[in-house]
């Protein structure tokens, strides 16, 4: 999992990336390719 400042740049890495908010943190998850996970906050 990467910890990044800009999730918008991470979202463009793969077409299946989704932005999700959990417990005050923003996550990017990708069901088809889990190595593209990222977190902000």
Q: pLDDT-based confidence at 29, cuts 50/70/90?
A: very high
For the full predicted model, state whether its pTM sits above 0.85.
no
Q: Is the CB of residue 20 less than 8 Å from the CB of residue 26?
A: yes
Tens digit of each residue's pLDDT (9 = 90 or more) over 8-26: 888 888 999 999 999 999 9
What is the pLDDT at residue 7? 87
Average pLDDT in the 35-40 region?
92
Other CB atoms within a 10 A radius of the CB of residue 15 amount to: 9
What is the pLDDT at residue 26? 94
Q: Is the CB of residue 29 less than 8 Å from the CB of residue 12?
A: no
CA–CA gap between residue 22 and residue 18 (Å, rounded)? 13
What are the boundaries of each domain within the chain?
2-40
């Amino acid at each position: 999992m990467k910890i990044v400042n800009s999730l918008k740049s991470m979202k463009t890495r793969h077409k299946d990336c989704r932005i999700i908010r959990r417990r005050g943190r923003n996550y990017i998850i990708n069901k088809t390719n889990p190595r593209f996970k990222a977190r902000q906050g």
